[in-house]
């Protein structure tokens, strides 16, 4: 039952961000926020890393990326959702909490 709820939550999150309103959003550096969001759904931190123009490992949000390997917390889980939301808003921080 828990697995089904988690799957429904992720599907609803994806459908929310996949709406046409987000389809052409661009960040200040010209990169696609929806593309970054999808990368963060694949693995926490990747979308934000892409928004920082890839490059050296110092551009990687290390906490999100490395903690993303923890099942249920990182992937699929809390960090995956947090990273996807941050990337869709063009944020590139390594903060693990919701401060909004």
The answer to whether position 16 is within a domain reads no
Q: Is 59 within a domain?
A: yes
Percentage above 90 pLDDT, the chain: 17
Q: Is residue 75 in some structural domain?
A: yes
User: Does a structural domain hold residue 85?
Assistant: yes
- Would you say residue 46 lies in a domain? yes
Number of domains in the chain: 1
- 17-21, 58-62, 82-86: the lowest-pLDDT one: 17-21
Interatomic CA distance for residues 66 and 44, integer angstroms: 8
Cα 81 to Cα 98: distance, rounded to the nearest angstrom: 11
As a whole number of angstroms, the distance between CA 96 and CA 83 comes to 9
Q: What is the DSSP letter of 32?
A: B
Domain span at residue 73 reads 30-91
Note the pTM of the prediction, 2 decimals: 0.70
Q: Which is more confident, 85 or 7?
A: 85
Would you say residue 18 lies in a domain? no
- Residues 21-66 pLDDT 10s: 545 578 877 888 899 999 999 999 999 999 888 888 888 888 899 9
57 in any annotated domain: yes
- The answer to whether residue 78 is domain-embedded is yes
């Amino acid at each position: 039952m828990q697995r089904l709820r988690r799957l429904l939550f992720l599907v609803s999150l994806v459908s929310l961000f996949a709406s046409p309103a987000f389809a052409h959003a661009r960040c200040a550096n010209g990169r696609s926020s929806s593309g970054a969001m999808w990368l963060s759904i694949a693995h926490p931190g990747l979308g934000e890393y892409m928004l920082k123009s890839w490059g050296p490992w110092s551009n990687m949000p290390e906490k999100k990326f490395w903690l993303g390997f923890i099942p249920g917390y990182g992937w699929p889980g809390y960090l995956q959702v947090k990273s996807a939301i941050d990337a869709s808003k063009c944020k590139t921080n390594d903060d693990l909490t919701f401060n909004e």
